[in-house]
Amino acid sequence: MLWMNVAGLGSSSLGIVLLLTGILTDFWLVSFGSDLYHVGLWQICAKNVCAKVTATGYINATRGFVVFSTSLLIFGMISSCFTFVKFHVGRITACLASAILEGLAAMFLLIGMSIYTSETSNMVLNSSFNYQWSFYLCWTANVLLIISGICHILAHLSSPLPGYESV
């Protein structure tokens, strides 16, 4: 189904834009206390002066899972582009490959975001920290990746299997 492939590619394209914006910006946590500052995965900024974030275990784990998720999503989007030319290797169609890669990207992003959320939830509940738009962009990207994977699996299921005519 062409419209399912278009919907899958569109949602994964929007997902990668949101994911890259969320990863590369530094508004994951914002402190509204006496000193206003904001923290991302890569840097912390206060009074227009930014410094690298001290890499603790959960920050490194979140970075690793999120970056790996992004690379899987890029390969899934490339595979998604091949769905329009009916590319397949044996019984594995480009739709199925896209669905698998985008599903794995969503799973790794979910793991990374869950690690960050579980480690910073005490700071949010017990102090003046709040999650901000970069953090929410990554969660929204995860939802879009799941939608994209579902669209591609539905497109795969509704298309005839490659090699079916030769049987």
Cα Rg for the chain, rounded, in angstroms?
Answer: 19
Buried b or exposed e, range 28-48, using 16+ CB within 10 angstroms: bbbbeeeeebbbbbbebbeee
Whether 124 contacts 29, CB under 8 Å: yes
Q: Which residue has the higher pLDDT, 121 or 137?
A: 137
DSSP-derived letter for residue 53 is: P
Which among 4-13, 52-61, 115-124 has the top mean pLDDT? Answer: 4-13
Task: Please determine, for residue 165, whether its predicted confidence score (pLDDT) is greater than 60.
Answer: no
Element of type H or E holding 44: strand 43-46
Q: In total, how many domains does the chain have?
A: 1
Whole-prediction pTM: 0.88
Q: Is 75 inside any structural domain?
A: yes
Q: How confident is the model at residue 161 (pLDDT cuts 50, 70, 90)?
A: low
Q: Is 91 helix (H, G, I), strand (E, B) or coil?
A: coil
Q: Is 27 inside any structural domain?
A: yes
User: Shortest CA distance to 52 belongs to which of 40, 61, 43, 60?
Assistant: 43
Calpha distance 155→3 (Å, rounded): 8
Mean pLDDT (the chain, rounded): 88
Q: Is 98 inside any structural domain?
A: yes
Q: Is 166 inside any structural domain?
A: no
Task: Please determine, for residue 61, whether its predicted confidence score (pLDDT) is greater than 90.
Answer: yes
Q: Is 164 inside any structural domain?
A: no
User: Shortest CA distance to 24 belongs to which of 57, 55, 58, 70?
Assistant: 70
Q: Is 163 inside any structural domain?
A: no
Calpha distance 57→119 (Å, rounded): 10
Q: How confident is the model at residue 145 (pLDDT cuts 50, 70, 90)?
A: very high
Calpha distance 167→163 (Å, rounded): 7
| pLDDT tens digits for range 19-42 | 999 999 988 888 877 778 888 889
The most distant pair of C-alpha atoms in the chain lies apart, rounded to whole Å, by 73
Q: Is 92 inside any structural domain?
A: yes
CATH number for the domain spanning 10: value is 1.20.140.150
Residue 42, domain extent: 2-158
